[in-house]
Amino acid sequence: MPGLPVVGKAHEDARAGAPFTWFIYGSSLDLDAFAFWAGEHGYRVPDFARAVAVKLEGYRLAFNVSSRFWGGATASLVAAPGEAVEGLALPMTGEQRGLVDHKEGAISGLYAPFPVEVVPLAGGAPIAAVAYRAAKPLATELSPSPKFLETLVRGARASGLSEAWLSRLTSLR
């Protein structure tokens, strides 16, 4: 419900820090879902106009995080030589780190940030970024939550990710 009071670590840690680039590969690709979450938690939606479609090489999606909200498993990243995960690289100000840590579940300890290098799908120099993966993944992977997967596909399509990536995601249904 909109208008909830916003308190807690994410907002307390909103001190200015260094700018960073957020690698977005999950439900935050769906701007409608992201805007709803942001409104519920008292954040402004970041400006996605500067987002670049990218891929993270050497990783794959793993559905090894259980979520009551999504009604099943959600995605994380696991090392996988020869594979890649597509998403967006979004430049962020240091003041926005609390928003990202909150959205990604780092505040609750569900996910943890780690440095990555992503490559623009259109070509160009690699981009240093911050990605998030499960801090305590399940011992075995599960089938993806249908609701999560639909949000992921919708966001990937709207973000202009490759047809090959969209086919790969839809094959998980």
pLDDT score for 6: 43
Gap between the terminal Cα atoms of the chain: 30
Is 86 within the bounds of a domain?
yes
What is the rounded distance in angstroms from the CA atom of residue 90 to the CA atom of residue 112? Answer: 18
Is 152 within the bounds of a domain?
yes
- CATH at 150: 3.10.490.10
pLDDT score for 12: 41
What is the rounded distance in angstroms from the CA atom of residue 172 to the CA atom of residue 169? Answer: 5
Enter the tokens of residue 151. Answer: 């949000």
Task: Answer for the pair 94, 10: CB distance below 8 angstroms, yes or no.
Answer: no
Considering its fold, how many domains does the chain have in total? 1
Report the predicted TM-score, pTM, of the whole model to 2 decimal places: 0.90
Do you know the residue count of the chain? Answer: 173
Complete DSSP assignment for 72-83: EEEEEEEEEEEE
For the chain, 173 residues long, the average pLDDT of each consecutive 10-residue run is 42 67 98 95 95 98 96 97 98 96 95 98 98 97 97 97 98 92
The whole domain housing 49 covers 16-135+142-160
